[in-house]
Structure 1
């Protein structure tokens, strides 16, 4: 998928979470090719940087550049069982209101409730202690199916 990103951010491997368009995007002639294909609260990674800069008032460099993006891989901690590399499962956030050092892995940016996920890597049991007593596995997820 192609989108536009600030020139200073246009680097292969750069990850970002799309949090929605700025107000200035509403009447921009590049809106459909810039933010039109992006899903709110999804995590993306830049896989190829193109040429052809365009002016853009919302980026610090004042310029955007076309980039090819894919959904980014996401690391997650889950108590789901019977998960192996290549399997799919439905993501459901844990029933947890604890604030701890693992919160961002249990509730990762870019992953939403009931997403169908592909397990790229099962990194095994998580060594940290869960305050709720959950036995957690650390997974790397590919694109959401």
Structure 2
């Protein structure tokens, strides 16, 4: 669980977002350490709890709320031999240039080389004559 700040209008349990890094005004903000300092650029986060604490913010229509976030499970395509529920693997993106599969081949929130735990096998698809498994994973560590 990570504590961070999000715009008041976005502060809803279940909302997912990708953190792309601090905006220019954040670099001099006194709350930057708790707001952006706990997040890793390029990662996906899911709000699990909204606390009843708010702070002024020049970027988010005047206010941000304190929230608790986690990294959610993400679906990604893997080689069939790696698709074993419960196993931990070093993520290697599959080779598929089909634009309709882009979010499964290189999902935002995961990086090649991440260690992930396979939670479930949710499907499969074919690309260039090869079959790939779609798995739901959680990043480890």
Report the TM-score when normalising by structure 2.
0.92
Say what the alpha-carbon RMSD is for the aligned residues: 1.4
Q: Deviations over 1:45-78 (max 9, x none)?
A: 001110111111111x321000001111111111
Residue in structure 2 matched with residue 63 of structure 1 by the alignment: 63
Match of 2:87 in 1: 87
Identify the residue that residue 78 of structure 1 maps to in structure 2. 78
Instruction: For residue 115 of structure 1, report the CA deviation from its aligned partner.
Output: 0.3
Task: Report the equivalent of 1:52.
Answer: 53
Q: How many equivalent pairs are there?
A: 140
Deviation at 1:80, TM superposition (A): 4.5
SS in 1 for 2:81: coil
4+ runs deviating over 4 angstroms = none
Partner residue of 2:133?
A: 137
Q: Which has the higher strand share?
A: 2
Structure 1 counterpart SS, 2:34: helix
Residues 82 and 143 of structure 1: is their aligned pair in 2 closer, same or farther, counting only changes over 3 Å?
closer
Alpha-carbon shift at residue 120 of structure 1 (Å): 1.1
Contact kept? 1:79, 1:134, Cα under 8 Å: no
Does the 8 A contact of 2:114 with 2:139 survive in 1? no
Bigger share in helix: 2
- Distance in structure 2 (CA, Å) of the matches to 1:21 and 1:69: 17
The TM-score with structure 1 as length reference comes to 0.90
The answer on whether the counterparts of 1:74 and 1:140 sit within 8 Å (CA) in structure 2 is yes
Unmatched tracts of structure 2, length 5 or more: none
